Amino acid sequence: MEKAVLFFDIDGTILSEITKTIPESACTALRAAKKAGHMLFINTGRTVCSLPAQIRQLPFDGFLCGCGTFLIYKDEVLFERSLTKQRGREILSKMKECNLSGIAEGPEDVYFPGYITRFEPLETTRRYFRARGMGIECSIENGDFIYDKLFVYADEKSDLKGFLTFIDEDMEALDRGGNAYEVIQKGYSKATACEFIREKFGLSRDQIYVFGDSSNDLAMFQYADHAVAMGQHDKVLDPYTEFVTRTVEDDGIAHALAHYGLI
């Protein structure tokens, strides 16, 4: 088969959100795809600092992080774009003014409020990162840091509309459900990451395969002709999905790669 380049989301695609592990079948299938001559990339909303160790142990050619804002091939940083410190501070101040709370995600660390918030999903995420030694050293309020994107939480006490209007010039919010929003830089997405790699290696669109499960995969599903949704996935992906595989826990990655003859 002609060489293909495969782009994988992490959470709910390769890494099970139920077992918190990568199925052995996925590991075996990825190694087989690499041996067959295909290129493998992670394409994630996570910033580079929060890539799970078990992901880095697999034979990926590169990591496309922060919804297209930090791209690595082998050990080379191909592209990086963070918010300026001034703009980053303005957005965080507006988030507080509008009575939202959130997590700033940078290339070096993730940053949480210095107090316990009223948003349990945020506090669950805080515990997840603290268990991995992250999000501890400095808070959103006090840290002198740059960041690439935000994950914000709203409720009936929040002025979400005011916040979204304020950030509209250079940021956009992806609705992740449950009053949670992934706030990314305009002009950058998982699709722009795919296109950067496609152009760098002179590939055709027919050589591109993307694998995902959530709403932040929508851009790369709209971009790719070969879009694979996991067995459990956000229905927003359906109009752009070419093939629905099994769930990640039910050997979904191996099943999809075999379906396309990639292994």
CB neighbour list of residue 67: distance below 8 Å, 6 or more residues apart: 45, 149, 182, 184, 185, 188, 189, 190, 193, 216, 219
Q: Pick the closest to residue 58 from 11, 110, 15, 4 (CA basis).
A: 15
Q: How many other CB atoms are found less than 10 A from the CB of residue 240?
A: 18
What is the chain's length?
Answer: 263
Residue 217 to residue 201: CA distance in whole angstroms:
22
Strand partners of residue 84: none
Structure confidence at residue 142 (pLDDT): 84
pLDDT digits (tens, 9 = 90+) for 68-115: 999 999 989 999 999 999 999 999 999 999 999 999 999 999 999 999
Strands 101-105 and 110-111: what pairing? antiparallel
pLDDT digit string, tens, across residues 197-248: 999 999 999 999 999 999 999 999 999 999 999 999 999 999 999 999 999 9
Residues 72, 151: contact at Cβ < 8 Å?
A: no
Sign, Cα dihedral of 221, 258, 60, 37: negative
Whole-number mean pLDDT of the chain? 96
pLDDT for res 1: 67
Could you tell me the CATH superfamily of domain 5-80+188-259? HAD superfamily/HAD-like (3.40.50.1000)
Angle subtended at Cα 48 by Cα 22 and Cα 79, rounded to the nearest 5 degrees: 130
Task: Give the pLDDT confidence score for residue 143 in this predicted structure.
Answer: 74
- 67: left (phi > 0), else alpha (psi -120 to 50), else beta? left
pLDDT attached to residue 207 = 97
pLDDT confidence of residue 215: 92
CATH 3.30.1240.10 segments of the chain: 85-185
**Contact (CB, 8 A) for 248 and 14:** yes
Q: List the helix and strand counts (H, then E) for the chain.
A: 8, 13
Tell me, what's the pLDDT at 152? 98
Q: Contact at 8 Å (CB) between 34 and 54?
A: no
CA separation (Å) from 29 to 38, 60, 64, 242? 12, 12, 20, 20
Residue for token pair 């932040």: 216
- Mean pLDDT in residue range 134-150: 92
Give, rounded to a whole angstrom, the gap between the first and last alpha carbons of the chain.
9
User: Do the Cβ atoms of 106 and 129 come closer than 8 Å?
Assistant: no
Looking at 1.10.490.20, 3.30.1240.10, 3.40.50.1970, 3.20.20.70, the CATH number of the domain 85-185 comes to: 3.30.1240.10
Show Cβ contacts of residue 2 under 8 Å, excluding neighbours closer than 6 positions.
207
Q: What is the pLDDT of residue 240?
A: 98
> Has residue 2 got a pLDDT over 90?
no
Q: Which amino acid is at 108?
A: E
Residues of the chain with CATH 3.40.50.1000: 5-80+188-259
